[in-house]
Amino acid sequence: MTLSELFQSLTKQLQGLYSKQESESLLIWLFEEYLGKSRKDIRGDFVLNPLPVEFQNAFKELLEGKPIQYIIGKAPFYGREYLVNSSVLIPRNETEELVHLIIKENKNSGMRILDIGTGSGCIPITLALEIKGTDVFGLDISEEALTVASQNASLLGANVVFRKSDILTEEIPFKNLDIIVSNPPYVKISEKELMHGNVLKHEPHLALFVHDDDPLLFYKHIAHKAKIALKPKGRIYFEINEALGRETVNLLKETEYTEVSLIEDLNGKNRMVSAKFNPA
């Protein structure tokens, strides 16, 4: 069987779960990872020997709906590769946009930056590597997530201090911060049915969902506790639920923040909020 024939056959099998375009993209990822073949190679007439067992097992997991990033154990973010497993969320494009916004607006060295709910560590690691001369910290409630984040920092050569903390019950353990950033749980339980099945089945619910009766729970705690941890004129950045943009803006305005901005992502959805802390 040629690569082209194999590719076409496997694409058809995946189309019960994904669109044709998604199926092809996922297969390209597998071909590159386990067969060392690119999209260009697939057009050629390369005849395959028996498929490696690793490739067969990976394709089986793909058919079961497991995200490909968890299958191969890594995911791209801001031009780098991060280790991921089911203890952490898969880094998303929207979060890259949040990080890019912070980098664009904050070019000074010597800053102190905290990421709350750090997961794989992609946010603080990127900021540490892109904004030179900064002290960067990351908090998470999950020991497993912190292990992944620490591994990523080590592999990518980033100096980030990670600490276990529950932002809902504990104060922020770092002070004199210039920036606090967070991509906290913001998907309402009632929105579960709108999500792809492989996300619901495989990604950590602890990092995704909040109850409908208090969807801004994490934002409230972070906004209030940040007032003690931030320097005057320090900034706060959130990734948000697109349906709760105005509510998040109002929360920050009511909590002594100024210059509150609601920012759309590249798809035109309300996805980020930034604000400045100006104590009276």
Q: What share of the chain is helix, strand, coil (3-state, %, to 5)?
A: 45, 20, 35
pLDDT for res 109? 85
Other CB atoms closer than 10 Å to residue 85's CB: what's the count? 17
pLDDT for res 198? 61
**Among 229, 224, 231, which residue's Cα sits nearest to residue 256?**
224
CATH code for the domain defined by 86-277? 3.40.50.150
DSSP 131-175: STT-EEEEEES-HHHHHHHHHHHHHHT--EEEEE--TTTS--S--
Q: What is the pTM of this model?
A: 0.92
pLDDT for res 85? 96
**Residue range 31-77, pLDDT digits in tens:** 999 999 888 888 777 777 788 999 999 999 999 999 999 999 999 99
pLDDT for res 203? 57
pLDDT, tens digit only, all 280 positions of the chain: 788 889 999 999 999 889 999 999 999 999 999 999 888 888 777 777 788 999 999 999 999 999 999 999 999 999 999 999 999 999 999 999 999 999 999 988 899 999 999 999 999 999 999 999 999 999 999 999 999 999 999 999 999 999 999 999 999 999 999 999 999 977 766 776 655 666 556 656 666 677 777 789 999 999 999 999 999 999 999 999 999 999 999 999 999 899 999 999 999 999 999 999 988 7
